[in-house]
Amino acid sequence: MVFVSFVVVLLIAVSVAAVAPAGPWDAFNLASSTRGVTPKSVRLTVGQVTGAENLIGNTMSTKGATIAGNGSYVVLDFGQEVGGRLSIQIDSATSSSALSLSFTESPLFISPTTSDDSCVASFLEDSDGVLSLPPLTSNETYTQTVGDQRGGFRFLTIVSNGEEPVTISNIVLNITFMPQLEDLRAYTGYFFATDTTGFHDPEFLTKLWYSGAYTVQMNTIDSHQARQQPCPVGGGWANNATGGPVEGTILVDAAKRDRNIWPGDMGISTHTELVSTFDLQSSQNSLLVMFSTQDPTTGALQYSGPPINAVGSDTYICWSLIGTHNVYLYTGDLNFVEQVWANYTFALSFLQSQVDETGLMNVPVSFSNDWGRVDGQGHNSAANALLYQTLITASELATTLGHTSLAAEYVTNASSIKEAYNKLLWNETAGMFMDNDMVYNVNPQDGNSLAVLFNLTNNGSQIQSISEGLTQFWTDIGPLSPELNDTIIPFVGGFELQAHFIAGQGKRALDLLHREWGYMLYTNISVQSTMLEGFTANGSLGYRSAAGADFDHSFTSNAHGWATGPTFSLIFYLVGLMVTSSQGATWSVAPVLSGLTAAQGGFETNLGWFGANWTFTDKTTFRLDPFERMVELEALEQHPGKSLGTGVPVSSGVDHAG
């Protein structure tokens, strides 16, 4: 009989906002300790450039760099993805001196004549162009306007556009994202694990967790710093639009673009908020924006918030409603639910009106938009999985508000969808769900992953079959989505990752992490610090090139919150700690063994800070503080994800375990 040492510490304290405990994981936190950041290195100089090294890392330098001659330039590397308003000290210039700036996330698009595209996709990859500085005056400081700020970039190119020399110094970027947080490094959650599976970087999992956390930080912006749509006349960009009728911060899709609220993306990024910064107010504000878009006649919500104001997506309406439950689950803010309840139920009625005689929602073409995939209409499996989850979570909210009859109605309707889902969409031969009852040759990544995640399966055999079946789409750098040609989509990959963990296939889940997110984090065509929107089978940044992006590889976002599924999944499933009722009034510890020797992490809710720490040491004892328990290793391996501890918090602030 073999036993495993397994230590879980749950710390519950009724205190105000807490900072995660200090430890070796802090070295992986990408957030800056100050709002002012400087370039880390000189990437390249071309033409007549002297003293470029003086622009690196010293905001008090009395020396500068001189750029002379039309077309000469210097490329500066900030070392990772950053975003905000740039300031440059103009030490010496004449009336004939001129400078322009270009920005890019990926090094592939470093150019003295254009930035990577952020406002509109262009086949020529030149729609953003450069930012030309106003006439230069010696001994003055140029600072970007709010509209001119670049929300996400790593590389800055400073170009001379005149023959006369100009000397510059003290280049500082003032970070504008997450303005409500005084200390950007003050995370309320953390994660730490050494990857002992043989992957080339043993620090990969911890790096990945913090990369996801930092990505969502960069996606948290002032509500008046969204991207203008339509784009400025003549090209360029403007990041001073209003993102909706709210004040404060909103959670948007990405740092560079679209800087717009998309509720589907929040189906990932809100969970990342919980485990990293506990900034659920930004998610709440974004949902308030989405409810403000409601069609007063039909009840439909928009596909996105302003200024894009896209319409026509049943799945993203579902995500707005599911997101409402997520915010309540993590914050316990019942006032928020009551505030939007009339809008919420109206939107849900709109969705339910599309359920036909089959028992499934029959998505009209006009509401078939989703994450970018094709063929989302009809009895689409992903859409119906989302409607099922919407009804289940709606029932929980209705019960909490005292609407017991409505709650029962929602449960009944959800049960009907689950029955029809299995009857009409299950493909016994493939052992997976079909995309649609009219499309028999497509077993989608999204519909199958969501079916496992939201419990539309009838038994464990289905779950195992789906988990194994999803691997047929895998390449060395991630799954090729059957729903969109030549596309590896980390948004859906985040749902697949959870499905493998739920199936108890922890090693398979880590394999997926190594392939898809390992590629994102280490490829030299990315920013190597935040998460990609998507990429292609050969690893290029041509995500959706033929499906809306006009073959503009520079348009792809390098800091996209929907790609941060690993950040919360590593806490929820690998560490195994998650809340099971509002704010963590009840919780569970259910780690999925994945071939590692140890993992730890935690997060905060309004009830306090929750943490778990497990390790395999001498393989003789299992301990769940504050008392020892014994459990067979064989039992853990046969029942992965089984809860090893459950409980409710106590108000005394003492260590607590189930």
- pLDDT band (50, 70, 90) for residue 609: confident
Angle ∠(392,397,399) on CA atoms, nearest 5: 95
Domain ranges of the chain: 1-31+203-218+576-658, 36-175, 196-202+261-565
Q: Which CATH class is domain 36-175?
A: mainly beta
Give residue 144's pLDDT.
Answer: 98
How far, in Å, CA of 501 to CA of 570, rounded?
Answer: 10
H or E element, residue 273: helix 266-276
Q: Which of 336, 331, 192, 193 is nearest to 274 (CA)?
A: 331
Of 151, 140, 15, 134, nearest to 86 (Cα)? 151
Per DSSP, the chain holds a count of helices (H) and strands (E) of 14, 23
Query: DSSP letter string over 193-208?
Result: ----SS-S-TTHHHHH
- Mean pLDDT confidence for 530-543: 97
DSSP letters, 302-361, are PSS-TTT----BHHHHHHHHHHHHHHHHHH--HHHHHHHHHHHHHHHHHHHTTB-TTSSB
Q: How far apart are the first and last CA of the chain?
A: 25
Q: Matching CATH topology for 36-175 and 196-202+261-565?
A: no
pLDDT at 655 over 50: no
Count of CB atoms within 10 A of residue 453's CB? 19
Element (H, E) at 409: helix 404-425
Residue 633 pLDDT more than 70?
no
Q: Quick: pLDDT tens for 153-178.
A: 999 999 999 999 999 999 999 999 99
| 3-class DSSP assignment, residue 383 | helix
What is the per-residue pLDDT across 447-460, written as a single tens digit (0 to 9) for each? Answer: 999 999 999 999 99
**Alpha-carbon distance 98 to 93, whole Å?**
8
What confidence category does residue 3 fall into, taking pLDDT thresholds of 50, 70 and 90? very low
**Rg, the chain, Cα only:** 25
8 Å CB contact between 437 and 424: yes
Entry field: residues in the chain: 658
Closest CA to 74 of 100, 91, 49: 49
pTM of the model: 0.94
Residue 634 has pLDDT above 80, yes or no: no
- Whether the Cβ atoms of residue 321 and residue 347 lie closer than 8 Å to each other: yes
CATH code reported for the domain at 196-202+261-565 = 1.50.10.10
Residue with tokens 């497509």: 442
DSSP states of 493-527: HHHHHHHHHHTT-HHHHHHHIIIIIHHHHH-TTS-
pLDDT value at 227 more than 70: yes
| Sign of torsion over alpha carbons 288, 306, 155, 168 | negative
Cα 291 from chain centre? 21
